[in-house]
Amino acid sequence: MKNHKNISRLSSVLSLVFILFILVGCDDEVADPSVDFRQIIDNLSSQELLLAIDSDTISIPPDSDYLVNKVVTIGKIASYDDCSLDDVPELNLEVSGSDTLQVTIDPNSSLEWQFELIEENELGGGVGECRLIIDDDDIQ
C-alpha cells in the first residue's frame, strides 16, 4: 500500500512540474530569442535628401526618416550593435535640388550609425535599431 501512495504522490508532483513547465513555456518574452532589428536614416535637417539605393531613388523629406533595412530572425540583439551594413546595398545620399550642397557623412560607414537597444528579453533576443542621423551640420 505504501508503494501505491508513493507512486500517487510522485505522479502528482510530476504533473505539477509538467504544468509549470508548460506555463513558463507560454511566456513569449522568456521563451522567444527573436530579433527585430532596423536600420533607419533619420533626416533631421531642413533639406530634402535623395537616397540612391540599388536602382531606386527615394526622397527623404526634412524631419522624417526612411527604413533602409529590417531583419527579423532568431538570435541575439547584441550581435547587431555594431550597425554592420553587410546586408545593405551601397547607399548614396544627396541634397535634393542642389549642385553645391553635399551630405558630409558617409552612409556606408557603420561608424556613422548609432545603435539603440529598445528592448531585450531574457534569452538575448529583442528589438534594436541603428540610425544614421543627418542634421544641418552634416550638409555643407
124-134: pLDDT as tens digits: 999 999 999 99
Give the chain's end-to-end CA distance (angstroms, integer): 90
Confidence (pTM): 0.76
pLDDT classification of 13: cutoffs 50, 70, 90 = low
50 with 57: CB under 8 angstroms?
yes
Cα separation, 130 vs 67, in Å, equals 10
**Nearest to residue 111, comparing CAs of 94, 132, 80, 136?**
132
The full set of domain ranges for the chain reads: 1-31, 32-138
45 with 139: CB under 8 angstroms?
yes
pLDDT score recorded for residue 25: 52
| Mean pLDDT in residue range 99-128 | 97
Task: Please spell the DSSP secondary structure of 74-107, one letter per residue.
Answer: ES-GGGGTT---TTS--EEEEETT-SS--B-S-T
